[in-house]
Structure 1
């Protein structure tokens, strides 16, 4: 079931974000992610429309949109690769005509995932905080 997140769930969502980020980005130090957990909980998630995916009464992932920009899409690492991310994205795409996002270029799995959904790379930049290349991707209906 996909539903709107409650603020009380934000700590659980930050935990999913943190574990999934560390797993997906071995090229970035864990300390980088740990230092940003509070910002995710206090600033980033509250600024977005956050939808959670529940399975068996357990939140296993979430999608955070700020307007037409995807700020975050994360699935609990314990249940990745079962189509949960695709389901969340299908839900987001059904409610928008256009979606943009930034993704680390070295996160080949994520870049491939978004390409399969019809996103294209339209720009690239260096992330000032990590020195890593990021791809700006866009999708339109």
Structure 2
């Protein structure tokens, strides 16, 4: 079931984000992720429309949209590769005519995932916090 998140769930969402980020981005030091955790909980998530994916009364993933921009899409690493991310994206895509997102270029799995959903790379930049290259990806109906 996909439903709106409550603020009380934000610590749990940050935990999913942190564990999934460590796994998906081994090229970024763990200290960087830990340093960003408060920002995620206190600034980024509250500024977004956050949807959670529940399975058996357990939150296993979430998406965070800010307007037409996907700020975050994360699934608990314990339950990845079962289509949960695709389900969250399908839900987000239903409510938008276009979506943009930034993804680290070295996160080949995520880039491939978004390409399968119809996203294309439209720009690139260097993330000022990590020095890593990022791609701006876009999708539209």
Q: TM-score, normalised by structure 2?
A: 1.00
Cα displacement string for residues 103-122 of structure 1 (whole angstroms, at most 9, x for unaligned residues): 00000000000000000000
Q: Which stretches in structure 2 are left out of the alignment for 5+ residues?
A: none
Cα displacement string for residues 7-41 of structure 1 (whole angstroms, at most 9, x for unaligned residues): 00000000000000000000000000001101100
**What secondary structure does 2:35 align onto?**
helix
Give, in whole Å, the separation in 2 of the partners of 1:63 and 1:9. Answer: 13
Cα displacement string for residues 54-80 of structure 1 (whole angstroms, at most 9, x for unaligned residues): 000000000000000000000000000
Aligned length: 141
| 1:46 and 2:27 aligned | no
Q: Which stretches in structure 1 are left out of the alignment for 5+ residues?
A: none
Give, in whole Å, the separation in 1 of the partners of 2:131 and 2:6. Answer: 34
**What secondary structure does 2:59 align onto?**
strand
| 1:120 and 2:83 aligned | no
> Once the 2 structures are TM-superposed, how far is the Cα of residue 44 of structure 1 from its aligned partner?
0.2
Q: TM-score, normalised by structure 1?
A: 1.00
Q: Which residue in the other structure is 1:81 paired with?
A: 81
> Once the 2 structures are TM-superposed, how far is the Cα of residue 124 of structure 1 from its aligned partner?
0.3
Matches within 5 A, 1:4-83: 4-83=4-83
Give, in whole Å, the separation in 2 of the partners of 1:64 and 1:76. Answer: 15
**What secondary structure does 1:92 align onto?**
helix
Q: Which residue in the other structure is 2:139 paired with?
A: 139
Give, in whole Å, the separation in 1 of the partners of 2:125 and 2:38. Answer: 25
Aligned alpha-carbon RMSD (Å): 0.3
